[in-house]
Amino acid sequence: MNIKQIIKEEVENVKMVDYHVRNKIPFSENVYRVGSDNYFKVIKEARRAYKLGEIKPLNEADKDLFENSHLGEWAMFEGERVPLDFPMYIETLDEKKKKKKDPPLNKPTKNTGGGKKYKVYVRSKSGGVKKITYGDSKGGLKGNWNSAEARKSFAARHKCEQKKDKTTSGYWACRAHKDFGTNVPGRFW
């Protein structure tokens, strides 16, 4: 962080404290979301201003916050930077890192994100979700799935009979006729 950024951040912190003071909002009722970066910054800056005699506490909770608390200060604990006097920090972190829903597994769809023509999400061997893309990306070759001769030729060329691993594009390419063809029978090899 360069000196200009540090000065800009300090000015913003002073403005946050000034807002509380002008509007007579106790710092114990911080206007920022509990656990956010600004929540900690405004309390730290207010404590600094209190110690310099620039502001007075609006209530007993603020006085206690400035004199008997370390809220707004950070320390290292078990290799992680954590705020002092803020026991619900882990819960706040958990809210920030809400678990994403897994996409539908084993349901092939058209790929709109560029690259290959089709995509499917599968469970990898390690337990995570893996995206598989397959099919001609340029749209030059089209699956002639209604022709029994073309299907047989495709299956022979790509050795579809040997493709058993769902985490490979070959497996899904050999089965694309079922997902994207019309009135095409099941396996043809």
Q: Per residue in 139-182, pLDDT tens?
A: 544 666 777 788 788 888 889 889 999 999 889 888 887 777 76
Query: Quick one: residue 43, left, alpha or beta (phi over 0 = left, psi -120 to 50 = alpha)?
Result: alpha
Residue 147 identity (one-letter amino acid): S
Q: Which two tokens stand for residue 125?
A: 């061997």
pLDDT (0 to 100) of residue 72: 85
pLDDT (0 to 100) of residue 186: 63
Q: Please write the tens of the pLDDT for every residue from 48-69.
A: 888 998 888 888 888 888 888 8
* DSSP one-letter code for 160: G
Tell me the pLDDT band of 120, cut-offs 50, 70 and 90.
Answer: very high
Q: Please write the tens of the pLDDT for every residue from 71-117.
A: 888 888 888 888 888 876 555 555 555 556 778 889 998 888 778 88
CA dist 56 → 12, 25, 64, 71 (Å):
20, 12, 12, 17
pLDDT (0 to 100) of residue 179: 76
Q: Please write the tens of the pLDDT for every residue from 9-30.
A: 777 777 888 888 888 888 888 8
Measured between alpha carbons, how far is 29 from 61 in angstroms, rounded to an integer?
A: 9
pLDDT (0 to 100) of residue 140: 46
The domain limits of the chain are 3-96, 109-180
